[in-house]
Structure 1
Amino acid sequence: MDYYNKVIESVKVRFLRGNNYRIEKPVTVTDYHEKENTLILLHQGNLKYGENLEVLNEGEVLFIPGGQETQLTLGGSGKTQQLKMEKFRDVKKKHLQSMSFFDIRNTEDDCISMMSFESKVFDVVNFFNSLSIPPFIIRFNDRIGTIIEDLMKEQEQGGVGKERSLSSQTEVLVIEILRHILKNQLFVEELSTNSTYFKDPRLIDLFNFIKTNLGGDLSNKVLAQVANVSEDYVGQYFKMLTGINPQDYIEYQRMEAAVDLLRTTKKSIRDIGKEVGYKDTAYFCRRFKMMYGVPAGKMRRRDSLINV
C-alpha cells in the first residue's frame, strides 16, 4: 500500500475541460482517441465501445486513458454512421449538441458528460498512458459518477473559488479511479511492470533534488552524484525511465517556477531569472519567450489584467 501512496503523491493532476452533450445524431467513431485522459458518464441512451461493442449502462463511466484508441458508438440502437476520428472532429457539432448540465434531468434525449484531465508523474510522465491500460468501464461506482457530476456543476456555475474547487475535486477523482482499479484487481500486471519510475529510489531522489535546487547547479555531473551513477550514464538513465532528457526537464521546471513567481510576486525579471537558475538575464528572457511565445514582462502584464 505504501507503494501506491507514493504513486498518488507523485502524480500531479489538472482538470482540463468538461462538456455536457445531447446526442443529436448517432455515430460510430472507429478510432476514437484523445491526447488527454477522458471520462464519459452516460446519463441516458446508448453507448458502446471496443471491438466487442461492450455496452455502457446508464450511470456508468467509460475511462479512456490518454493516447489509447477504441471504437466508440454514441447513441442509436441499430446501424450508425461510421467515421474516423479526424472526420468526427470536423463534424462533431452535427452529432453532439452542447447542453447545460442542469437540463439533463429534464430531457429524455440521449445525453452524456465528458471530462478530460491530465495526470503526470513529476510533471513529465503521463501516468495512465504509461501503464498501457486499455479503455474500460467503471461499473458499480456511484462515487466516481457523482464526482464527475459535481465537476460539471462547478464548471458551469463558476462561483468563488471555482478553479481551486475543480482542481481539488479532480485530485479526488483520480484517487477514486486508482482505488477502483486496485479494489477490483484490474490491470495488476500493468501496474506492477510499467511503473518503473516508482521502483527506483534514485530517480525519486533526482526529482526531489531538482525541485528543491532549481536555482543551483543541476549539471549532469551533480545529478550523477545524487543518483550515484556515472556522469556519462545519468542522462541515458533519466531518459530511459521518463522519456525526456534531464536538462530538458530541468528547464521546464525552471520556467514553470518563473511563471509562478511572475504571477505571485513583484520581483524583477532579473531576480526571478537568478532565482530559478539563470545567471544571464538576456539568455533567460530568450528561453522564456521561446517556450511560452511571449516575453516574461508581457506575461506578467497579461496576468495582472486577468487578475484585476
Structure 2
Amino acid sequence: MEDYNKIIESLNVRFISAKNIDILKPLTIENYYDVENVVLFVHKGEVRFGKDKQVVNENEILFIPGGKMVSITYGKGTATSLSNDDFINNRDKFFQNADKIVPKSENDNVSFINFDAKVFDTVNFFASLDIPPFIIKGNNKLISIVKEVVSEMYSGFAGKGRVVKLETDHLVVEIIRHILNKGLFVEQFATNSTYFKDPRLIDIFAYIKKNLNEDLSNKILADVANVSEDYVGQYFKMLTGINPQDYIEYQRMEMAVNMLRTSKKSIREIGKEVGYKDTAYFCRRFKMMFGIPAGKMRRRETLMNV
C-alpha cells in the first residue's frame, strides 16, 4: 500500500472542465476520444459503451481513461449513429447544455468532468495503466464529489475555482481507492508502482516533457538514461508496455490538443512547436490518432464549451 501512497502523492491533478448536458435525442458516437480522463455520471436515462454495449444506469459513473477510443450511446431508444467528426457538426441537435444539475423531466441527463492526473507532472497516470473504460457502481462518495464539482462550476460563489481544484484532487484519490478496493487491474497497478520508482525512467519522462519540439531519438534518450541505444527501447517498453517513440508521439499530440484549446496559433505553428517540421505529416498523424483534422478539433472544443 505504501507504493500506492507514493504514487498518489506524486500526482499532479489538473481540472479541465465540467458540464451538465440534456440529451435531446438518442445518439451513438462511434469513435469517441479524449486526451484527458473523463468521468461521466448518469443523472437520468442510460449510457451504453464499448463493443458489448455495456449499460451505465442512473446513479452510476463511467470512467474513460485518457487516450481510449470508445463507442458511446447516450439515451434510451433507437440512436442516431455518428462519427466524432459528424457529431461536432451536429452537436446542438443532440446535446443541450443545462444550466443546473437537476434534470428536466423530459430529458435524459448526464454530467461530465474532464481532468489530467500526471505522475511527477510528466506521465498520464490512468493512460499509463492501459486499462479500458469501466463502470463505477454504488460509490456514493464519488457521486457526491461529481455533483459538488459540477454544482460549483454552475455557481457564482466566491472561490469556486479553489473548491473545484480540491474536489478534483479528491475525485482522483477516490477513483484509485475504488480500483484498489474492488481489486481491479491488479497487474497494471503493480507494474506501475514498480516503474514509477525507477529514477532512470523518470529522467526520460522529464526530458521528453521539456523537449517535445526537439530531436527525441532513441540515441538521445539512451544518453539521458545512461544506457545503450540498442537497449533503451527495450528498457522503456519493458517498464511501460509501449515503445518510447509511441509514447513521444502521444505526448506531442496531447500538447497539440492543449494548444488548440488554449491558443489562436496556426496549425503550422502548433505542429512545429510540438516537434513536427512537416505540417502535412503532422496533420496526417493528428487525424490518424484522433479521427478528425486538427482544425475540426479546435472547432469541437469551441462547440463543447458553448
The reply to whether TM is greater than 0.5 is yes
Residue 110 of structure 2 is aligned to residue 82 of structure 1: no
159, 162, 166: which one pairs with 2:160?
162
- Counterparts of 1:150-299 in structure 2, within 5 Å, are 150-194=148-192, 197-203=195-201, 229=226
| In 2: Cα distance, 1:234 partner to 1:5 partner | 31
| In 2: Cα distance, 1:32 partner to 1:42 partner | 17
Deviations 1:193-238 (CA, angstroms, capped at 9, x unpaired): 3555314255558999xxxxxxxxxxxxxx99997x4698998799
The answer for unaligned runs of 5 or more in structure 2 is 207-220, 249-271, 275-306
Structure with greater Cα Rg: 1
Shift of 1:46: 2.0
Deviations 1:158-199 (CA, angstroms, capped at 9, x unpaired): 322222211111000000000000000111112123555314
The equivalent of 2:212 in structure 1 is none
Shift of 1:8: 0.4
**Matched position secondary structure for 2:196:** helix
- Residues 17 and 115 in structure 1, CA contact (< 8 A), matched pair in contact too: yes
1:152 corresponds to which letter in structure 2?
V
CA RMSD of aligned residues (A): 3.2
When structure 1 is superposed on structure 2, of 161-170 and 105-114 the one drifting more is 105-114
The equivalent of 2:96 in structure 1 is 97
The equivalent of 1:149 in structure 2 is 147
| In 2: Cα distance, 1:100 partner to 1:135 partner | 28
The answer for unaligned runs of 5 or more in structure 1 is 209-222, 249-289, 293-308
**Matched position secondary structure for 2:171:** helix
Residue 78 of structure 2 is aligned to residue 51 of structure 1: no
| In 2: Cα distance, 1:48 partner to 1:232 partner | 45
The equivalent of 2:127 in structure 1 is 129
Equivalent pairs, count: 234
Cα distance 1:109–1:230, how it changes in 2: closer, same or farther (>3 A)?
closer
TM-score, length of structure 1 as denominator length:
0.66
Shift of 1:64: 0.6
Cα distance 1:233–1:3, how it changes in 2: closer, same or farther (>3 A)?
farther
- Residues 13 and 170 in structure 1, CA contact (< 8 A), matched pair in contact too: yes
Cα distance 1:91–1:205, how it changes in 2: closer, same or farther (>3 A)?
closer
Residue 40 of structure 2 is aligned to residue 40 of structure 1: yes
Taking only the aligned residue pairs, the percentage that are identical comes to 42
